Amino acid sequence: MYCYVYDEALQDRRFERELAQIETRLTDLGIAGKIARLALFREPIALIRDEIRNGVTTIVAVGNDTTLRRVIDAVDDKKTVVAFLPVGAQGDMAGLLGMPVGVAACDVLSARIVEELDAGDVNGKRFLQSVRMEGAHFTVHHGKQYVITPLRKASVEVRNFAVPDDVGVQNPVDGLLSLIIRLPKFSLFKNKTDIGIIPFETMTIAYEKSITASVDGDALQGKDFVFRVIPKALRLVTGKGRKF
């Protein structure tokens, strides 16, 4: 059984035609299901968990990256399959998961290639992509192996799954997270940085003062951030063009 969770932004009339085409295609493919519409300022946790208790086995986030993140936050078991049907403003996840935008995603959803992806956890909050932090005077504690204390201000990112860039692809099925530290480099040329990459399973990053971290776009404030990887935490539908 499928449940399609529509983002509140899709109530705009400009999406009516596209959504009608999507719903027709889903019916043709035999995978139509219940439609649940998110309301502004309403978290979908209770709605989605009620649907799962009522027998829904696949929750489809219809909208953008934020819609997908809210659905993932609400699915707290490893049996329910999550899928993404991108509509409207797009971020990174459509490309990473190999999901085309709009009605074309229906056929990928019907093919149902399900992958078990790792998730990250920071202070009890799950994330699929990354956590970004800015600030000086922090210490990285990597188990009993070593402690890192940068001598100058650095940007810090912990990745599970991200767009390929200057540090390569983070594989969301390898049972590891990646710590990426970027340090400004003294150079005659602007925008030069030294980049350090450390794969890990558990790690703590402690700041001297409270900062605000961005956890897949959501704000999380604190001084001490405890990270761990959750192997095979999520079952997601992917397309052949996925980036892992």
**For the residues of the chain, what is the DSSP string, one character each?**
-EEEEE-GGGGSGGGHHHHHHHHHHHHHTT---EEEE--TT--SHHHHHHHHHTT--EEEEEESHHHHHHHHHH--SSSSEEEEEE-SS--SHHHHHTPPSGGGHHHHHHH-EEEEEEEEEETTEEESSEEEEEESSEEEEETTTEEE--SS-EEEEEESS---BTTBPPPTTSS-EEEEEEEE---SSTT-EEEEEEEESEEEEEEEEEEEEEETTEEEEEEEEEEEEEEEEEEEEE-TT---
Interval 117-172: pLDDT, tens: 999 999 999 999 999 998 778 889 987 766 777 766 778 999 999 877 767 667 89
- Banded pLDDT at 215 (limits 50, 70, 90): very high
Higher-confidence position of 73 and 228: 228
Residue 106, in any domain of the structure = yes
Interval 18-53: pLDDT, tens: 999 999 999 999 999 999 998 765 667 888 999 999
Residue 71, in any domain of the structure = yes
Answer with the one of 78, 111, 144 that is the final residue of a domain: 111
Q: Which pTM was predicted?
A: 0.87
Residue 156, in any domain of the structure = yes
- Please tell me the distance from the alpha carbon of residue 86 to that of residue 100, in angstroms, as a whole number: 7
Residue 242, in any domain of the structure = no
Q: Which domain holds residue 101?
A: 2-111
Per-residue pLDDT, 143? 74
Residue 22, in any domain of the structure = yes
In this structure, are 152 and 70 located in the same domain?
no
Instruction: Say if residue 205's pLDDT is above 60.
Output: yes
Residue 243, in any domain of the structure = no
Residue 236, in any domain of the structure = no
Which residues, at least 6 apart from 27, have a Cβ–Cβ distance to it below 8 Å?
none
Q: How many domains does the structure of the chain reveal?
A: 2
Per-residue pLDDT, 69? 92
- Please tell me the distance from the alpha carbon of residue 200 to that of residue 121, in angstroms, as a whole number: 12
Range of weakest confidence among 100-109, 142-151, 196-205: 142-151
